[in-house]
Amino acid sequence: MSGSNAQLIKDHFAAKARFDRATILNQLTSDAKWWVPISGAQRGIATRPIEGGDTIADILTSTLSTQLYAKERTWTIEYVVADDTVGAAQVKLSTALAESGTPYENTYAYIFRFVDGKIAEIWEHLDTAYAFVLFDSAKTN
């Protein structure tokens, strides 16, 4: 892993694309927190916050992630900035919904907090209204 937090963010999305649980786990603090959108928590998609590096690594590589989206996916990093304590990335996810095969493409903004060269917190922002329309239509088809 590189010494820069911008590179850590880039490496994080590369590991997510490969479903590389070991690398993701190594990138996170053991007590890491992931703040999913409030609307996702209200719909019961995930708790808020998701706590623990081990739990987050599982979700990103084998549980929630693969229940929602097809394994074939691309994370395109559009912008990334970071300093010693915080960073941000705008990324595009291109994939399909796992349940229906419906194409899915959405832009996400992630805010990261770092501790000792690892990700301690992640805040996820996306167009949930768009995503929920697709999720709901997949359930009815």
3-state secondary structure of 79: strand
Q: What is the pLDDT of residues 50-107, one digit of tens each?
A: 999 999 999 999 988 888 998 999 999 999 999 999 999 999 999 999 989 999 999 9
Domain 5-140: CATH class, spelled out: alpha beta
What is the C-alpha to C-alpha distance for residues 65 and 71, in angstroms, rounded to an integer? 9
Residue 66 phi/psi, 5-degree rounding, is -85, -15
How far is residue 62 CA from its own chain's centroid? 13
Dig out the tokens for 101 from the structure.
Answer: 């095969």
DSSP state of 63: S
Domain ranges of the chain: 5-140
Helix segments in 19-127, DSSP class H: 21-27, 38-42, 53-61, 64-68
Mean pLDDT, all residues of the chain:
94
Q: pLDDT tens, 54-67?
A: 999 999 999 888 88
Q: In which element (H, E) is residue 130 found?
A: helix 128-140
